[in-house]
Chain A
């Protein structure tokens, strides 16, 4: 009885609280919502969480908010920004930040994340995640911007490692050291995109395994997985494109397993944003991640905890 009275008194925006579970999630697409919820009534859309792009919910009302409210009532949620331009030289756009904050307050997600990238210069938004040189100057800018976002929304965010097609002559930091320093100095967490690691490593000719082994995985709280397209650059070198338009490739699954061996199970998102298939295809993709997560359910972390309890 008490519980009923309590929940009746909660404001309509109160959703199930708590962090994302260490399970497989899927990027939410409008066209899948009814399939997901219909299955959910028969308790069969067994997805650990959903992730949305914050920008798609910055309108005032209508169907997008109705759909997301119904999803949020049943599932944990991650809000992922694609337009904050954290790697830009200019100050964070206050209006955009206010809209971002409103989405976070409205949906109370388990996780909030953004990218190590820029998308705005002067007054133009380029609608792409553009690459950042790794210098002392950009480190200072990124750090200030992450601080500003975290202060504005009053909670920690995760920053995602980019997929890149070019490098900059002026870079003086390695990417993983840069990411580590951002996390260390701002207290933000990291979102580890394994597909991005594979793309950047292939495009720039280094070993993705060595990158993962050197990466500050202790800061990672969520993983992204996606498919990519293959091309060749001007000199015939492989050039992978972060297309999010197909299944995760087997090399990326292998790198994912390698990552989990060190981190233990983490919330792991399937991103599929172009040539979006029917819901069952995405559900099956998530099931693969779920299976890999399941085989990592007895990792280092609980063992460590048990050892501490004994001490």
Chain B
């Protein structure tokens, strides 16, 4: 209750006090701010509780968001990389379920892991999984809607809001499933496996998509008609079976609705 002050920091406006406090939270080399401690005396160990809370809680958030990478990299490596990521990309909202969004891009440019480019693909898949988990509740395309449609080959398929298609040059499906087993078994990095992440009801699912299936789904996700997608897949490999791929699309809930693209003849002329 006294106004008498001897300390330099004591008349700081709150915004400066917070700036000093905040700077020291994420920079371990920085001295704890003056005038913060026990009875005004410095107490680094006390300040370290806040530092620890911040960093440990963010590492924990990264572990929860990226359990496959945690399994593949191991606790020690993952924690070290996560610390670097946290320094470069501290959270910008209180919605921790979105924290770590740019981890894939971070890993792509992270020199110590330049020889493991597959990690960024895993990060993308794990982010897609979490995004699907929180995505808006939305009905998936029913088999009836498709079977009732006239001229289905002319239809375009609208991706479900939770769905994400992930091509990869690495065995992404196996790498993603590293989260299911601990400790993580060795994964053969030869061979490419794409993945499709969806959430038909409340539970997310991942499907492996290889070769022609990936060509087919990529065309549909790109807004091409069913006929164009089938043609593209058959051109890639004559063994493509359209009925099986369409069944997979329905079973995974990759799409939510159908529509017809405007006929080319109905388009206005490009120039007058």
Find the A residue at minimum CB distance from B51. Answer: A128
A138 and B13 alpha carbons, distance in the complex (Å): 9
The listed residue (B19, B38, B137) touching A233 by CB distance below 8 A is B38
Residues of A within 8 A of B49 (CB): 165, 239, 241
Asked whether, in the complex, the Cβ of B38 is within 8 Å of the Cβ of A172, the reply is no
Chain A residues whose CB sits within 8 angstroms of the CB of B47 once the complex forms: 165-166
Chain B residues near A137 (CB, 8 Å)?
A: 13-14
Could you give, for residues 137-175 of chain A, a 1 whenever the CB lies within 8 Å of some chain B CB and a 0 otherwise? Answer: 110010000000000000000000000011111101110
Q: Does A61 contact B (CB under 8 A)?
A: yes
Whether A125 lies near B93 (C-beta < 8 A) is: yes
Q: Chain A: interface residue count, which band?
A: 35 or more
Report which of B5, B7, B22 forms a contact with A126, defined as CB distance below 8 A.
B22
Q: Is A309 an interface residue (CB 8 A)?
A: no
Which residues of B lie under 8 Å from residue A65 when comparing CB positions? 137
Closest residue of chain B to A170 (Cβ to Cβ) is B10
Across the interface, A166 reaches (CB within 8 A) one of B19, B46, B57, namely B46
Once the chains bind, are A83 and B43 in contact (CB under 8 Å)? Answer: no
B92 contacts A61, CB within 8 Å? no
User: Is A297 part of the binding interface, using a Cβ–Cβ cutoff of 8 Å?
Assistant: no
Is A94 interfacial (CB-CB < 8 Å)? no
Closest CB in chain B relative to A227 CB, distance in Å:
16
Residues in B whose Cβ lies below 8 Å from that of A130: 21, 25, 50
Q: Is B40 in contact with A169, judged by CB distance below 8 angstroms? A: yes
A56 to B61, CA, bound (A): 12
Complex Cα distance, B135 from A267, in Å, reads 33
Give 1 or 0 for each of B41-56: 1 = CB within 8 Å of chain A CB: 0011111011001100
Verify A170–B12 contact, CB threshold 8 A. Answer: yes
Give the nearest-CB partner of B32 in chain A: A166
Q: Is the CB of B22 within 8 A of A122?
A: yes
Q: Given the complex, which residues of A lie within 8 Å of B19, measured CB to CB?
A: 121-122
CA distance A166 to B137 in the complex (A): 44
Interface centre among A121, A168, A205 (most CB of B within 10 A): A168
Q: Is A301 an interface residue (CB 8 A)?
A: no
Q: Mark out the residues of chain B between 1 and 51 whose CB falls within 8 Å of any chain A CB in the assembled complex.
A: 1-3, 5, 7, 9-15, 17-19, 21-22, 25-26, 34-40, 43-47, 49-50
> What CA separation (Å) do A146 and B157 show in the bound complex?
48
Point out the residues of chain B lying under 8 angstroms from A56, CB to CB: 97
**What residues on A are CB-neighbors of B26 within 8 Å?**
124
A165 and B134 in contact (CB under 8 A), knowing A88-B18, A170-B12? no
List of A residues within 8 angstroms of B37 by Cβ? 166-167
B13's partner among A88, A89, A93, A172 (CB-CB below 8 A) is A89
Residues of chain B at interface, number, CB under 8 A? 56
- Min CB distance, B11 to chain A, in Å? 7
Is A64 an interface residue, CB under 8 A from the partner? yes
B164 to chain A minimum Cβ distance, whole angstroms, is: 14
A59, B43: Cβ atoms under 8 Å?
Answer: no
Question: Do A168 and B133 have beta carbons less than 8 Å apart?
Answer: no
Q: Is the CB of A166 within 8 A of B54?
A: no
Q: Say yes or no: is A184 at the interface (Cβ < 8 Å to chain B).
A: no
Q: Are B94 and A125 interface neighbours, CB within 8 A?
A: yes
Residue of B nearest to A96 (CB): B94
Q: Does A283 contact B (CB under 8 A)?
A: no
Are the CB atoms of A62 and B10 closer together than 8 Å? no
**Within 8 Å of chain B (Cβ to Cβ): is A99?**
yes
- CB interface residues, A 37-62, toward B, < 8 Å: 55-56, 58-62
Bound state CA distance, A233 and B61, in angstroms? 27
Q: Is the beta-carbon distance between B39 and A167 smaller than 8 angstroms?
A: yes
A172 contacts which chain B residues (CB < 8 A)? 1-3
Q: Return A222 CB to nearest CB of chain B, in Å.
A: 21
Q: Compute how far the CA of A121 lies from the CA of B47 in the bound complex, rounded to whole angstroms.
A: 17
Whether a CB of chain B sits under 8 angstroms from the CB of A185 is no
Known A89-B18, A96-B94, A123-B92: A169·B9 in contact at CB below 8 Å = yes
- Residues of B with C-beta under 8 A to A131: 50
- Given known A-B contacts A118-B18, A169-B35, A127 and B134 have beta carbons under 8 A apart: no
Contact B57 A127 (CB under 8 A): yes
* Contact A55 B96, CB 8 Å, known A126-B22, A167-B38: yes
Other contacts beyond A65-B137, A89-B13, A237-B38: 15, CB < 8 A = A62-B132, A62-B199, A123-B92, A125-B91, A125-B94, A126-B25, A128-B53, A131-B50, A137-B13, A137-B14, A138-B14, A166-B38, A172-B1, A205-B38, A235-B38
A residues with CB within 8 A of B: 55-56, 58-66, 82-84, 88-90, 93, 95-96, 99, 118-128, 130-131, 133, 135, 137-138, 141, 165-170, 172-174, 203-205, 232-235, 237, 239, 241
7 A-B pairs whose Cβ atoms sit less than 8 Å apart in the complex: A62-B199, A119-B94, A124-B92, A166-B37, A169-B40, A204-B39, A239-B46
